[in-house]
Chain A
Amino acid sequence: MAKIYSKKALASKDLKPKKEVVSFILNYSQALTVVKIEDKDFEIIAN
């Protein structure tokens, strides 16, 4: 019988990140403002 060299993928396609992580990302996005002054980027995080 032919040897199969390919490994089975560790992860299934149904894996998802934690809800808390997605929620953090969305909150971070809302809080972040990037201001460009000359060549520099300033990141402002709103509380």
Chain B
Amino acid sequence: MADLHTPDALLVKNYVEGNENALATLIKRHESKIYGFIYSKIADRDISNDIFQDTFIKVIKTLKGNSYNEEGKFLPWVMRISHNLIVDHFRKTKKMPMYRETEEFSIFSIMSDDSLTIEGKMIVDQVELDLKKLIEELPEDQKEVLVMRMYQDMSFKEISEITGVSINTALGRMRYALMNLRKIIEKHQIILTN
């Protein structure tokens, strides 16, 4: 077998000239990097083995056909071939990469359920109910503006037209409504949170 310290380029040259052992050395040297790269994308041992095999069949055909030019390095070239075969594989199967549950990786680390828990929903409902009760405590003119703005999503222009006051007055009433709400909350030490 060829020396393990022989550079890749020389091994490739030897192989092209007919030294079959040079290929064995190249495979031994790079197999874990190439296979590891394929497996990291495919996550299936059997398919990774197939792609590894197809990669080297292409490598052999190219080298034996004298179509390889040592422009870049051997390993990046082989990696590029395997990358293209991985892309082909996903195109053929039209599947997204499959993730397997391992000790280090849980599928739930990339999937999450953002909806509220039952407890969370109850808290939100309670907060809304409390807030409505607080709003009922406000003076009528302030309550009217706040409800229109917050619950009916009206603009201050619309509010001023409906209530027959200027926009500035509507803004002022909204401001006092919020200040009064804060005062009531502080006074009764109400905790509104979710």
Contact = CB atoms under 8 A, between A and B. Distances in A.
Nearest to B35: A17
B33 A21 contact: no
B12 interface: no
Interface string B20-41: 1001100100011101110110
Contacts of B127: none
B53 A8 contact: no
Q: Is the interface of B mostly helix, strand, loop or mixed?
A: helix
A38 interface: no
A32 B61 contact: yes
Interface residues of B, number: 27
Interface string B42-72: 0100001100110011001100111000000
Contacts, number: 68
B15 to A, nearest CB: 8
Given A15-B32, A25-B53, 20 more contacts: A7-B105, A9-B40, A11-B36, A11-B39, A13-B36, A15-B35, A15-B36, A16-B35, A17-B31, A17-B49, A18-B49, A22-B31, A25-B60, A26-B20, A28-B57, A30-B20, A32-B60, A32-B64, A33-B64, A34-B65
Interface of A: 7-18, 21-22, 24-26, 28-30, 32-34, 36, 41, 43
